[in-house]
Amino acid sequence: MMATAVPATANVFGRAIVMPNLQPPVVDAEQAVAYYDRLKGCLADNSQFEPLMTLYLTDQTTPEMIKAAAASGVVKACKLYPANATTNSAHGVTDVAGLNDTFAEMEKQGILLLVHGEVTDHDIDVFDREKEFIERHMVHVVKANPNLKIVFEHITTADAVEFVLESSVNVAATITPQHLMYNRNDLLVGGVKPHNYCLPVLKRNTHQKALQKAVASGSSKFFLGTDSAPHLKSAKESSCGCAGCYSAPAALELYAHIFDQLGCLDKLEGFASHYGADFYGLPRNTDTVTLVNEAWPMPEQVTVGDEPLVPFFAGQIINWKVQ
């Protein structure tokens, strides 16, 4: 899987935030460095691609572990998964407030907090879980840690857009191709479409339009975050299909496609290349890629070993292509 997904990302992007929800998860600096080395081993010798590593927060993550992560030189952020909120999140956080000392050390060390923002209570509707997480947790984490840089990952609702816009300069958000291009009709109408199933789940079109308005505004608080998640066809098309859309083979092209449809292609460079780097305190890339207005079909599948994997937007026409 790594031999397929890593080059697909490195082909276009200069770097990527690497999420830590492996099995077992990447919970400390030593594991992050080992994962970094494995990723670099999947690249051509002349590749300049840089994986930016993250730690998986658990209830047992300590300030000392954050200090070690910062000292490693490869860990840029920690990811907060509420326990059982998404794929491979069983070891996630059950008590957000219990990590206050850890958040304080992250703030001190310049380690960012990346948040999968959903509650997991069974009695909370799956379409309301992001909104509930904002009210129950995000408001308090931001207030308690005003200088901690926080990325609200893969936001899906108008509520999240409003929260980010009303928060300080230390709060930003990423938006995926699938949440810009699709709403829950594209998941449920005419039969369930498992390759469009992701978490947070696609929402109603009013929320989709709020995300589109956010990126079209050109606000530096919103930037590219694919949440690209490669899962084999057999794992997606099963009685308990796993969550995640694999957009890596054409991520930049997919964003160009939707930005063009929204009439805001002039906002793509900031969204894709400037705002994220600036928020992370990283230098902007100086190399460029060229997108051309050329239609081409996303492959129906890619092969991982001898098994098929269906990418996001499979078989459909994308109007832009990296030259």
pLDDT (mean) for 88-104: 95
User: Lowest-confidence range among 88-92, 213-217, 258-262, 299-303?
Assistant: 88-92
Q: For the chain, what's the residue count?
A: 323
- In the DSSP assignment, the letter for residue 210 is H
- Model confidence at 229: pLDDT above 90: yes
* DSSP-based helix, strand, coil % in the chain, nearest 5: 40, 15, 45
- Model confidence at 88: pLDDT above 90: no
- From residue 320, give the alpha-carbon distance in Å to each of 94, 256, 296: 42, 6, 8
179 is in an annotated binding site: no
The band of 255, judged by pLDDT with boundaries at 50, 70 and 90, is: very high
pTM of model > 0.85: yes
- Model confidence at 87: pLDDT above 90: no
> Whose CA is closest to 41, among 2, 13, 76, 14?
2
195 is in an annotated binding site: no
Percent of the chain topping pLDDT 70: 100
pLDDT value, residue 303 = 95
Ramachandran sector of residue 282 (left: φ over 0; alpha: ψ -120 to 50; beta: rest): beta
The band of 210, judged by pLDDT with boundaries at 50, 70 and 90, is: very high
227 is in an annotated binding site: yes
Residue 75 to residue 286: CA distance in whole angstroms: 23
pLDDT (mean) for 71-86: 96
Average pLDDT for the chain: 97
pLDDT tens digits along 183-200: 999 999 999 999 999 999
What residues have CB less than 8 Å from 188, skipping those under 6 apart? none
Residues tagged active-site: 227
122 is in an annotated binding site: no
